[in-house]
Every structure is written in C-alpha cells, then in structure tokens.
Structure 1
Amino acid sequence: MLQASRVTRALIFDLDGTLVDSLPGITASVNHALHHAGFSSHTESAVRGFIGNGSRILIERAVPSGTSTSVIDQVEAEFKRHYDANWPLGTSPYPGIPELLAGLKSKGHPLAVLSNKPEPFTLAIVNALFPNAGFSAIVGQRNGIPHKPDPRGALEIAAEIAIPAENCVLIGDSTIDIQTARAAKMTSIAVGWGYHDAERLHQERPDHFVQSIDELAMHCA
C-alpha cells in the first residue's frame, strides 16, 4: 500500500483495459475495416493482443503480413470512421470504476487519463462515460506527443496539473504503462483485469499489482 502522506498524489489512468472494457467495440471496428478491404476477421482474443500501441500499430498487427503501406492507410481510416460512429455499442466502464473515481476525487486526488488511443476518441469516451469524474487532464495519441512508453505524455500531464512527477501514480493494464511510469519517474500500479497477462505484468516489475477495484482503491488512498 502507498504510505500515508500529506503530499498530494496525482493519479493518471490508462483508458482501454483499465477504466473501460473497449475490446468488443474495437474488435467490431477492426473486423469491419478488414472486411471492407477484403481481409479475414479476427476473434476478440486475437484483437486483445493487438491493443496498446495506438491505432496504427493495431491495424498493422491486424492486416496480413506484407500488406502495403497505402492499404494499411485505408484500413486504418476505415477503422477510425467506423469506430467514431459505433464505439458506444462496445465500450463500457468496468464495474466499480465510476465509484472508485468519485471516491478518489472526494479525497482530493487530481485525476488524469493518458492513453495511446487517438485523442478525439479518448476525449469522447472519457467525457461520455465519466462526465462527473473531474479529470484535470486528458491526453491521447496526437501529433507532437509520442506514444507510451515515451514519458512525454505523462510528464505533460504532471506539468499541466502542477504535481511533481515523483508524486504521480500511473495506473494501467499493460507493460507499456509500467515502462512509461518508470521512464517518467512515477509510481506504477498494474491492474490485472485488462488486456495483458498477469505474468507479463509481473515480469515488468511494477511498483504494485492489483487484481480488484477494492485493492486499487486501497493503494490509491
């Protein structure tokens, strides 16, 4: 458990696989874009392994090996078009997350979101599903900010909310989140209910590993 302190801790959350289960919606849009290009579809289990590095790498992993850059561009554009219109059909908060955020907000913790999902989707999902969470910063994939595990997005959030990086906690379901926290000199909490296997998370040596919302609340208090 994080030691009790008078220092204000900022809590920076990953989005997909941490705050929301977006796998059904992502899978539907990936398969729509693949079908549109004449490619075969994937199971949710397969798409689960593609998620985490942004939409471009998601599509690069989904299309057949050797697919040309121009075709990947088309598939990614179709994925984004379909996802923009349909993400609400396959995206929902994990049970207990809204209550967790409300409790953390009431304790005075600044809250933020850092995602490798394109920023327009990140903003739309967070604002629609967590309208009362009071996030101090929301950062997604955009030009000028490299993907996690590059620490610049995390450090931008720390600067925006005026909390030193060493007083920030980065919470996510992937090895990328752990690596980002380490590079930014932030505390890392890995959650076990997302899209990365627990063994892989343990191998990356997060500062803390939690398997339930209640356990996460204890570490964040």
Structure 2
Amino acid sequence: MPDRTPVAIIFDFDGTLADTLDVIVAITNELAEEFGYPATDIEDLADVQNMSSREIISQSGISIFKLPKLLRRIREELEDNLSAIGLFPGVRKALLDLRYEGYKLYIVTSNTQGNVEYLLKQEGVLELFHGIYSGSTLFGKHRIINRLIKREKLDRKRAIYIGDETRDIDAAKKAKIKSVAVTWGFNSIDALVKHRPDRILQAPEEMSVVALTFLQFL
C-alpha cells in the first residue's frame, strides 16, 4: 500500500524564491570597506558565482569571526530594501500548484523571518507555507532543517530541500534529506553540479513538477 504521508518541500528563500541578488551584491559592496573584503565588480560576479560558498569566504579574506556580524548587518540592510525585492517570475504559480497538489511547504533561511513574511505577504503567498524557520548562519542551515523536521514531525525520507547555493546542497546532505538545486539564483550550474544535488531545476516553472522528481527517489 503506497505511503500517503504528505511530502514536505523546504525552500531556501533568497535566490530561490526571491530575486535578491542585485540588492545583496549592492549591500555587501557597501559593507566591504568596513568588514575588510574587496567589493565585487559586475565583471567579477560570474567568477564568484562559479565558486562554492566556502571558496568565496576564503578568497575574500574576511575573518570568520566577523561573519556573524556581517550576516546580521546584511539582514538589517535587506529590511530597508524590501521594496526593491520580489519573487522570481513563475515562482508564485509554482507555489500555488504545489500547495494545491497537497505538498507541505516550509522555508529555511538565513534572512529574518520578518523580512520573509513581509515579502510573501506582499506577493499573496504567505498562507501557503506551514512554517518559516530562520537562523543567522551561513554554514549551519542543516541545524535549522533538523529543528524543523523535529518540530514538524516530518519524515526525512519524504522531505526535499530546494536551494540556489552550494551550501544549500551541503545542508540537505548533512540533514539526510534530498537536495534540489535551482539555476536561477546565485551559484552557476557548474558550481552546483560539482556538489552533486539529487536534481537540478532550470526554471521556476519546473518546481510545479517536483512530484515527479520525488517519485524518482522512492
């Protein structure tokens, strides 16, 4: 008899659902001198997108002890720039389709819960989500995923994490759930492929057929 437990789809937010790249690049460039790392020129952005998250941090030369404060500042600055941010084209319909198909939708993000809720409400999709889990961390997303799974009493075998960065793939693997990478966010497809996600999506519209993706895993 088939398992009819709902499949949980856990999304990263920035770069996966919301198009925040230009805003985040602008913010990080504004903070570059203060935190002691080089600003990113538009010509250099493609090279940066080919790197893993850890490679970017290593090349920047920023002290790991400054990272928590930097992340907090970025989150604060994002709050002041919410009017310049929206969902990627096609994401809203994909979310509506997934919820209609019976999936349980969640978000795990390094952004603040307030920022995420505000943007989702503006787009009319906040009520589609069963929960939003936020944490001020770059490489600890697996802990947030684990907390979500425990609190929501989810089955890891029926959970997927969808993100746009190499660290999202790594987080899913550490949490022992399936990973789906998207190519319309920060990291390039070449960088994502190197981290071997279970599936790569090329356009937001493909999220609406993620059921077929999951069935391949069973």
TM-score range, shorter chain: 0.7 to 0.9
Tell me which residue corresponds to 1:9. Answer: 7
CA contact (8 A) 1:101 1:133 kept: no
1:193 Cα deviation (Å)?
1.3
> Mapping of 1:76-155 within 5 angstroms?
79-89=74-84, 91-142=85-136, 147-155=138-146
Residue ranges of structure 1 left out of the alignment (5+ in a row): none
CA contact (8 A) 2:36 2:62 kept: no
1:120 Cα deviation (Å)?
4.0
Tell me which residue corresponds to 1:199. Answer: 190
Residue ranges of structure 2 left out of the alignment (5+ in a row): 213-218
Distance 2:140 2:37 in 1: 30
* 1:185 matched to 2:176: yes
Q: Could you say if the C-alpha distance between residues 97 and 45 of structure 1 is closer, same or farther in structure 2, counting changes exceeding 3 Å?
A: farther
CA contact (8 A) 1:52 1:116 kept: no
Tell me which residue corresponds to 2:28. Answer: 30
Distance 1:66 1:202 in 2: 26
Structure having the larger proportion of residues in helix: 2
Distance 1:122 1:150 in 2: 16
- TM-score by length of structure 2 reads 0.75
Q: CA RMSD in A?
A: 3.6
Distance 2:62 2:197 in 1: 35
Alignment-mate amino acid for residue 181 of structure 2: A
Task: Report the secondary structure of 2:99's partner residue.
Answer: helix
Once the two structures are overlaid, the 10-residue window that deviates more, 125-134 or 182-191, is 125-134
CA contact (8 A) 1:25 1:88 kept: no
* 1:19 matched to 2:17: yes
Paired-residue identity, %: 22
Distance 1:25 1:104 in 2: 28
Alignment-mate amino acid for residue 204 of structure 2: I
1:164 Cα deviation (Å)?
1.2
Alignment-mate amino acid for residue 86 of structure 1: N
1:42 Cα deviation (Å)?
3.0
Task: Report the secondary structure of 1:18's partner residue.
Answer: coil
